[in-house]
Amino acid sequence: MNVVWRNAISCLRIKEVPQKYQSSCHPVAPLGSRILRDPAKVFEHNMWDHIQWSKEEAAAAQKEVAENSAVRVLLEEQVKYEREASKYWDTFYKIHKDKFFKDRNWLLREFPEILPVEQNTEEKKTRELRCDCVKINSADCFYGMNCKNSSVTTGAQSKASTNIFSLALDDKEHRREPRRAELFPGSKATFRILEVGCGAGNSVFPILNTLQNVPECFLYCCDFASGAVELVKSHSSYRAAQCYAFVHDVCDDGLPYPFPDGTLDVILLVFVLSSIHPDRMRGVINRLSKLLKPGGMLLFRDYGRYDKTQLRFKSGHCLSENFYVRGDGTRVYFFTKEEVHSLFCKAGLEEKQNLVDRRLQVNRKKQVKMYRVWVQGKFQKPLHILTS
């Protein structure tokens, strides 16, 4: 087992895990500490943290994006990509199985909130007092009274998006009565986690391995690609007693989850939201926020604006502003931290962390440098509902 995860289990057993909601304070140097201080040593490691871009590098990235997004995919093709999104991802997993992505053994380091923390009465009182002192509603968030998405959509673009959705929706009726509370999977657990867009299980199994000695925890995982869910359920480490994998389309607001609202402690949304059409993202976050308990956390990580992936797209792959389709039909969006803030705060969640993670990735053999940009956020459902 990875050293990081093994140490986490030891800490959990001796009750030395840091306070669960430690992310309320922004760390000085989050997400790694390998700093490039001497440019001559750039090829000594594969990755460098906290990279600062020069004005020239930022301008060059903006120019590349302007060029590769000048030609847009035809509307009828966009309709196809929206309607058949699950089909493209199913094909992806049939081809690559569980060999394409690496296990995310960094999850616990970046998101210690995944683990439950046993706290005594005094610690709970302290946390509740702190929450009372720093109550923040969506109107008083960091970016001011009016959270505005930095992406401006023109009337023509909005109309095109509406056409896409009206054409892409089929006639299937998904609305069903949810299961009774006493019957849902994991109903006896005291700490519940949901991973949205679980893929082949690259987050599921590191988490399960860590929680195998923590019976009060239960992990749900879902994906709208049925092939991905089958890969998870057929894995040798899958344990039905502590994990429930199911097919689910998070864009279908009428499709119930296999558990009641307000029952989750943690939702993990890692490199998933970017695959959803931008016009549907707000509805997805609003729905997910309802699943959280008061005080529950939504943990987010995804592609940031001007990541090397965005810069490498060729002309003709752009669907809309900062939204692209890959050669295999899967799609990807590139976020700014302002957009992330707006999406989650307008869903009634409180921002605990929201940062841009800029890194320099190098190919030492080919002597090539590549800039990676990710956005990471932690958002909490308020413990108390504020009234005006």
pLDDT digits (tens, 9 = 90+) for 166-199: 555 543 444 344 444 468 999 999 999 999 999 8
**Contact criterion met (CB below 8 Å) for 153 and 339:** no
Q: Specify the range with the lowest mean pLDDT, choosing from 73-82, 91-100, 141-150.
A: 141-150
Strands 350-363 and 368-380 come out as antiparallel
**Contact criterion met (CB below 8 Å) for 136 and 142:** no
Q: What is the pLDDT of residue 70?
A: 96
Mean pLDDT (the chain, rounded): 79
Enumerate long-range contacts of 124-127, CB under 8 Å, 24 or more apart: 127/19, 127/21
Q: What is the pLDDT of residue 62?
A: 96
Enumerate long-range contacts of 259-263, CB under 8 Å, 24 or more apart: 259/179, 259/184, 259/185, 259/186, 259/187, 259/192, 259/220, 259/291, 260/178, 260/181, 260/184, 261/290, 261/291, 262/290, 262/291, 262/292, 262/293, 262/294, 263/184, 263/192, 263/291, 263/293
User: With bands split at pLDDT 50, 70 and 90, how would you rate the model's confidence at 32?
Assistant: low
Residue where the block lists tokens 């049925």: 226
**Contact criterion met (CB below 8 Å) for 102 and 96:** no
Q: Could you tell me which residue, 43 or 184, shows the higher pLDDT?
A: 184
Region 250-263: mean pLDDT is 93
d(CA 26, CA 73): 40
Q: Domain locations in the chain? A: 38-115+136-145+184-380
Q: Could you tell me which residue, 262 or 105, shows the higher pLDDT?
A: 262
d(CA 281, CA 161): 13
Region 80-93: mean pLDDT is 89
Does residue 90 have a pLDDT over 80?
A: yes
- The listed range with the strongest mean pLDDT (52-61, 105-114, 273-282) is 273-282
**CATH number given to 38-115+136-145+184-380:** 3.40.50.150
H or E stretch covering 267:
strand 264-270
Region 304-311: mean pLDDT is 96
Does residue 164 have a pLDDT over 70?
A: no
Sign for the pseudo-dihedral over CA of 113, 114, 118, 121? positive
- The three-class DSSP label of residue 149 is coil
∠ at Cα 324 (51, 84), nearest 5°?
135
Q: Could you tell me which residue, 68 or 106, shows the higher pLDDT?
A: 68
Question: Cβ neighbours of residue 27 under 8 Å, at least 6 residues apart?
Answer: none
Closest CA to 359 of 52, 29, 26: 52
pTM of the predicted model as reported, rounded to 2 decimal places: 0.76
Q: Specify the range with the lowest mean pLDDT, choosing from 53-57, 118-122, 221-225, 325-329.
A: 118-122
d(CA 218, CA 188): 9
d(CA 185, CA 258): 7
| In the chain, % of residues over pLDDT 90 | 52
| In the chain, % of residues over pLDDT 70 | 73
Q: Could you tell me which residue, 12 or 336, shows the higher pLDDT?
A: 336
Closest CA to 335 of 267, 276, 268: 276
User: With bands split at pLDDT 50, 70 and 90, how would you rate the model's confidence at 365?
Assistant: confident
